[in-house]
């Protein structure tokens, strides 16, 4: 056993350990502190003692006792306020044999805690992404298009609200589930998106995050089999089915139209389409189900040329009515370009640009550059791709854009 084992467990399961500790300790900051102390202890002890049969339970147990030590160090036990004394007593009395299922459910419990209606809706999702899923403040800030300092303040405010209002760390009753569902679904989808297409770094994907999002959606489906839960799970499964085909052997991006569709996971596609049908039968159709239906149309096409763009544009029209946003409008514009011609799609994108709605979005400039390239407007295409490159953070995307630029310049 070496440090690599601990590193792997930290990458894949540290937020699971953290969620359990938050439930046991009732304190975000203390849980974070003792979690790292427990991992440090693992680095020291596991090479000599061997990796425990249940590493997560070992880490939780070790961290829990370190929490007791930390609280005692801060003030002698006899001088503790009643609330702190109660906490120490509860921690000491906690059962060492923690049920595996309890630990697995703790992340879902913590998501529902962070999405409690008493917490500002602007705070719920970023707080959960940071504390439950371990995304950095910078990654979350990029997703919400706000400065990192603003996001940091929101997260601190959310943790204070949970502590001061004594919001319970539990999955709410069935009667209370629906009012938190929208925020919970948003969190799970944002986690998946960060895993499916990372906002920065050297790799296009982060499998640990997308896998965790799908696992959480399955847990949620068991708890609350609502149409939109099914729609979200379907959407993620259909996207996930294309993972292997999205990059080449060098880790470079392969666009949807160029992907080897034989690599698509037909089992995930079949499950996703079944979930969509079940959701549609309820006639309570939401935004995730509509997006999943768009993905299903792509999955049905045996080749890019056989894609039913008419149906995709129609679905985007429905999606725009349900949840209008600049990104949906951009995606619809690309579909319109495929259905009605490049000039028509480009005009829609240019109108969005003029409104200032997508000027800082690198994929908008990349899409515009591609349409300009197809029209033979090389100089304008170069300008759009250069702007996209200046905004892109992910290395595979930057390599993709550089290749586009090099190819255009070679044809000048």
The pLDDT of residue 93: 47
Treating both helix axes as pointing N-terminal to C-terminal, what angle do 227-240 and 266-281 enclose, rounded to 10 degrees?
Answer: 160
pLDDT winner (highest mean) among 51-55, 162-166, 190-194, 287-291: 287-291
Domain boundary residue among 98, 129, 153?
98
pLDDT over threshold 70, residue 79? no
pTM of the model as a whole: 0.74
- Pick from 257, 219, 215, 266: nearest CA to 236: 215
Domain assignment present for 218: no
Domain assignment present for 219: no
The pLDDT of residue 204: 55
Strand partners, 201: 394
Domain assignment present for 402: yes
Domain assignment present for 356: yes
Domain assignment present for 382: yes
Name the strand (E) or helix (H) holding 281: helix 266-281
Of the candidate ranges 49-63, 175-189, 361-375, the one whose mean pLDDT is the lowest: 175-189
348-372 residue pLDDT tens: 999 999 998 788 899 999 999 999 9
Distance from C-alpha of 212 to C-alpha of 306, rounded to nearest angstrom: 33
The pLDDT of residue 82: 58
284-313 residue pLDDT tens: 888 999 999 999 999 999 999 999 999 999
Distance from C-alpha of 207 to C-alpha of 195, rounded to nearest angstrom: 6
The pLDDT of residue 314: 96
pLDDT over threshold 50, residue 95? no
- Pick from 349, 403, 399, 400: nearest CA to 371: 349
Domain boundary residue among 48, 82, 98?
98
Tokens of 375: 């029209």
Give the pLDDT band (50/70/90) at residue 94. Answer: very low
Distance from C-alpha of 323 to C-alpha of 120, rounded to nearest angstrom: 21
pLDDT winner (highest mean) among 160-174, 177-191, 203-217: 177-191
Q: Which residue has the higher pLDDT, 212 or 361?
A: 361
Q: What is the mean pLDDT of residues 17-42?
A: 85
pLDDT over threshold 80, residue 226? yes
Query: DSSP state, 247?
Result: B
394 phi/psi in degrees, rounded to 5: -80, 130
Q: Whose structure tokens read 């997560």?
A: 56
Give the angle 210-204-111 at the CA atoms, nearest 5°: 25
Domain assignment present for 395: yes
pLDDT over threshold 70, residue 198? no
Percentage of the chain exceeding pLDDT 70? 88
pLDDT over threshold 60, residue 91? no
Domain assignment present for 89: yes
pLDDT over threshold 50, residue 29? yes
Write out the DSSP string of 132-157.
TT---HHHHHHHHTS-HHHHHHHHHH
Treating both helix axes as pointing N-terminal to C-terminal, what angle do 28-49 and 3-25 enclose, rounded to 10 degrees?
Answer: 140
Write out the DSSP string of 166-193.
T--SSPPPTTTHHHHHHHHHHHHHHHHH
Q: Which residue has the higher pLDDT, 80 or 130?
A: 130
pLDDT over threshold 90, residue 412? no
Domain assignment present for 323: yes
Strand partners, 247: 253
Q: What is the dihedral of CA 74, 76, 78, 84, to 10 degrees?
A: 20
The total domain count for the chain is: 2
**CATH number, residue 368:** 1.25.40.10
**CATH number, residue 43:** 1.10.1740
Give the pLDDT band (50/70/90) at residue 213. Answer: confident
Residue ranges making up the domain that contains 49: 1-98
Domain boundary residue among 80, 98, 116?
98
């Amino acid at each position: 056993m070496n440090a690599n084992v601990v590193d792997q467990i930290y990458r894949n399961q540290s937020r699971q350990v953290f969620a359990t500790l938050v439930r046991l300790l009732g304190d975000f900051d203390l849980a974070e502190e003792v979690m790292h102390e427990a991992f440090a202890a693992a680095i020291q002890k596991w090479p000599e003692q061997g990796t425990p049969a249940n590493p997560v339970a070992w880490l939780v147990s070790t961290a829990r006792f370190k929490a007791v030590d930390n609280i005692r160090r801060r003030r002698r036990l006899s001088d503790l306020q009643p609330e702190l004394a109660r906490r120490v007593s509860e921690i000491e009395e906690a059962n060492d044999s923690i049920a595996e299922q309890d630990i697995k459910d703790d992340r879902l419990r913590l998501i529902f805690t962070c999405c409690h209606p008493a917490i500002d809706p602007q705070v719920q999702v970023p707080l959960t992404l940071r504390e439950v899923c371990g995304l950095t403040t910078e990654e979350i800030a990029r997703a919400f298009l706000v400065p990192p300092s603003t996001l940091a303040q929101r997260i601190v405010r959310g943790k204070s609200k949970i502590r001061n209002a004594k919001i319970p760390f539990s999955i709410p009753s069935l009667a209370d589930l629906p009012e938190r569902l929208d925020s919970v679904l948003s969190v799970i989808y944002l986690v998946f998106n960060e895993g499916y297409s990372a906002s920065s770094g050297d790799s296009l994907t982060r499998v640990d995050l997308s896998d965790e999002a799908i696992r959480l959606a399955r847990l949620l489906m068991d708890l609350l089999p609502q149409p939109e839960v099914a729609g979200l799970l379907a959407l993620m499964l259909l996207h996930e089915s294309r993972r292997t085909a999205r990059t080449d052997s060098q880790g470079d991006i392969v666009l949807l139209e160029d992907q080897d569709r034989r690599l698509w996971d037909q089992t995930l596609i079949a499950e996703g389409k079944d979930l969509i049908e079940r959701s549609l039968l309820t006639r309570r159709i939401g935004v995730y189900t509509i997006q999943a239906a768009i993905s299903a149309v792509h999955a049905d096409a045996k080749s890019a040329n056989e894609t039913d763009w008419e149906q995709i544009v129609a679905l985007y029209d429905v999606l725009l009515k349900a949840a209008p946003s600049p990104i949906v409008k951009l995606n619809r514009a690309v579909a319109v370009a495929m259905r009605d011609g490049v000039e028509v799609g480009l005009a829609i994108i240019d109108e969005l640009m003029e409104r200032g709605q997508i000027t800082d979005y690198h994929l908008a400039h990349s899409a515009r550059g591609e349409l300009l390239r197809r029209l033979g407007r090389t100089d304008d295409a170069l300008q759009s791709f250069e702007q996209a490159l200046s905004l892109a953070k992910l290395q595979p995307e930057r390599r993709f854009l550089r290749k586009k630029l090099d190819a255009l310049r070679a044809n000048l």
